[in-house]
Amino acid sequence: MARRYLSVFFASSLALIQPGWSGITRGYDAGESAPPHWAFQRVERPDISAAESGNPIDALLASKWKTLGISPVQEAAGDILLRRLSLDLTGLPPKLKDRQEFLLNQSPDKVTNTVDRLLASPRHSEHWARHWMDIWRYTDWYGLDAQLRYSQKHIWHWRDWIIESIAADKGYDRMVLEMLAADELEPGNLDVERATGFLARNYFLFNRTTWLDATVEHTSKAFLGLTVNCAKCHDHKYDPITQKDYYRMRAIFEPHQVRLDAVAGELDFESDGIAKVFDDHPETPTYLHVRGNEATPDESETIGPNIPSILGSLRITPVALPPDAWAPGTRKGVQQAHLEAARRLGALDGAAMEARIAADNAQFRECADETTCTSLSKKAAELEWQAELAHIEAKSRLGENPTEEAKKSASEALTKWQALKERGPAAKHTSLFGSKKALETPEHNFNTYGPTYPRQSTGRRLALAKWIASRQNPLAARVAVNHLWLRTMGMPLVADVTDFGIRANAPIHQDVLDFLAVELMENGWSLKHVLKLITTSQAYQRSSSILHAAPESLTTDPSNAYYWRANGKRMTSQMLRDSILSSADRIDFSMGGAPVPIGTPSDRRSLYFRHSRDDIHRFHAAFDDANILECYRREESIAPQQALTLMNDKRVFEVCDKLAEQSIAAHRNRDEFLVDVFEQVLGRAPTGAELNTCMDALSAMEGTTETRARATVFLALFNHNDFATIR
């Protein structure tokens, strides 16, 4: 009764907030008219017929300026614009050569051509991979010492998949499909299944409900911009999402589990492996937890898998899996690795392994009849037994002058050999392992699990992914382009990037949001296509300075909600470190692979360092690094510790010394040096006042070496606001 009263109360409250909506407990069928909330309505292309030419983004923004009396500022200076483009698209500042070419270029297509060049760069895919790693909560595994408690080992394969997908301009819709259901989309294809690291990252050893809660919450926030997690304990206070809707979402993920699959040629899962998900317990029921308490499930009703009813429903079809997926020990690369390892032990081991492989293939792939399977399995078991006997017998032999410890070991081996001899061969061979399943509870060990898995997947996650990435879903494309806009334009179009629900008022630039969302969906869900539209717009290319702004613009729109100027942005922590290294041509551009341990002296790009609760890069942490629990939008802070970090970081010192030495070799004249150092570090020419200040500082350091004096200038400029800011 109390619960019903609360539902009525919330529904009444919501009716006041959102007129026309009859209440959150009301179901929504696909046949009914769409609810009034803007984000739940189908995305349609806005009317841009008034724009005769140019970028539609500019036409949509300009349509509001006239009414408000706003005048936009002029385009940014060439050097500032190039630096902005380079940092936003690749995370690195432009080289002097690129700056000179850009400033001399008089072509009307120079910005478009520059954008094309930057989007095609491998540096772009790495930089934007880090953005999406924030949104998708990338973290390497961590636990207690060697115990894995969170995420998965070798999850860096998922990071590499993100980089490669962006480089190939893989459609965002396909990326969603692969991250949520690659094991059902292309079962057995480990290259694609790397993508399910998105789900494997949520692994938590001690509590299944905590694990699934994180999965439901962050799948919804990342792809739908909805706080479905608010309905875990009761009907959502604001959005039309019931508590039962929450458990429908949980039921989609209820069966899934995580495992490491062997990569070709490597059987040691501590060394390598592909973290992937699969459906392991399709029969597990989902029950609503009364008041969200897992200790009090309502077992009177089994909750079926589905999306919140306000958004429609899923069509779920089970997926039959090939042997490569459910019996990973039968993969050719795995079998070959087992065979090579056995042959190194001896001829008998090699013969036994060949028999086990033949028996596995017969049992799991090509068995003509039961008799053949049984015969092959029995033969393999006999050879397996003989090989084991031979190894134990070898351990029972004593060499010359045996120690007491050796005598004891030999005696134990002899006892074991006699017991094995009496037992005889097993009735069935031991199938090969090609994977290592993650522990379901701390009480389990890896010997608890067998070498094979269910032959059919539920198809639940694939159905969800197909719906998310469909034209019928009003949310996914809007959420994605909002993230792109935030990271290029400095402010999102929808203020809370994770909540497009009832509390999110229709954005003042919904027409821009919907235009970009339609462009995304109708152009192969290409993220690069949308980034190009944004960065080639006049809105993006305007100056961020208000020095020459019209007084009416400053008065009417001081917060720049209408984008009459550009917004300055702080570099992320990774951009800052990478830009310092890049300034001295010191950065290591090798791509992919296992993460760099924290504390290792490495010049690789910052996204390749280990990133977890227990692996904190101190430089990154000082500059608002990504929170591993949730980082849909990074914080921007200015703190004294940041200057102290830059002033005392050993790597920064080394870069400054190298730059100073290079400058001495190139310029004996200090005037020329100072002009070049500003262009090299800040991407612009110095002002007269800045030149005088630097010259005075150099003169005051007459007691130091020229290298140290110039290194100090470089260090000062790395601490300059114009270096850390994208203007």
Beta strands in 282-380 (DSSP E): 288-289, 297-298, 319-320
Confidence (pLDDT) at 21: 34
Q: By the 8 A CB rule, do 364 and 323 touch? A: yes
Beta strands in 288-378 (DSSP E): 288-289, 297-298, 319-320
Quick check: 516 and 537 in contact, CB under 8 A?
Answer: no
Can you state the angle between helices 404-423 and 370-395, rounded to 10 degrees?
Answer: 160
Look up tokens 């003042």; give the residue.
Answer: 508
Those residues of the chain that have pLDDT short of 70 are 1-35, 50-53, 368
Enumerate the β-bridge partners of residue 143: 148
By DSSP bridging, strand 147-150 and strand 142-144 are antiparallel
Cα distance between residue 560 and residue 567, in whole Å: 8
Calpha distance 194→189 (Å, rounded): 9
Q: Residue 522 corresponds to which tokens in the numbers above?
A: 């109708």
Half-sphere CA count of 517, side-chain side, radius 13 A: 29
pLDDT in tens, 56-84: 999 999 999 989 999 999 999 999 999 99
What are 227's two structure tokens? 């706080």
Question: What is the distance between the alpha carbons of residues 701 and 698, in angstroms, rounded to a whole number?
Answer: 5
**Rounded to whole angstroms, what are the CA distances from 529 to 117, 158, 319, 566?**
13, 23, 33, 21
- CA neighbor of 504 nearest in space, from 473, 479, 538, 536: 479
Cα→Cα distances 331→349, 350, 436, 447, 450, Å: 20, 18, 14, 21, 16
CA angle 219, 220, 222 (to 5 degrees): 65
Residue 463 makes CB contacts below 8 A (sequence gap 6+) with 252, 305, 314, 315, 316, 317
Secondary structure element (H or E) that encloses residue 259, with its range: strand 256-261
CB 466 within 8 A of CB 473: no
E strand or H helix at 131, and its extent?
helix 122-135
Compute the half-sphere exposure of residue 697: CA atoms within 13 Å on the CB side of its CA: 18
Residue 378 has what pLDDT? 92
- How many angstroms separate the CA atoms of 165 and 168, rounded? 5
* Angle (CA) 607 610 614, round 5°: 135
The tokens for 46 are 């806005």
Residue 353 · residue 342 · CB < 8 Å: yes
> Is residue 270 packed enough to be buried (19+ CB in 10 Å), middle (13-18) or exposed (0-12)?
exposed
Residue 394: the pLDDT is: 86
Residue type, 100: Q
Asked if 670 and 698 touch (Cβ cutoff 8 Å), the reply is yes
From residue 628, give the alpha-carbon distance in Å to each of 82, 604, 621.
Answer: 32, 21, 12
Buried b (16+ CB within 10 A) or exposed e, 573-600: bbbbbbbbbbbbeebeeebeeebbeeee
CA dihedral 540, 543, 545, 546 (to 10 degrees): -90
- CB-based contact 234:291 (threshold 8 Å): yes
Token readout for 688 is 């007269």
Task: Give tens-digit pLDDT for 367-390.
Answer: 767 888 888 999 999 998 999 899
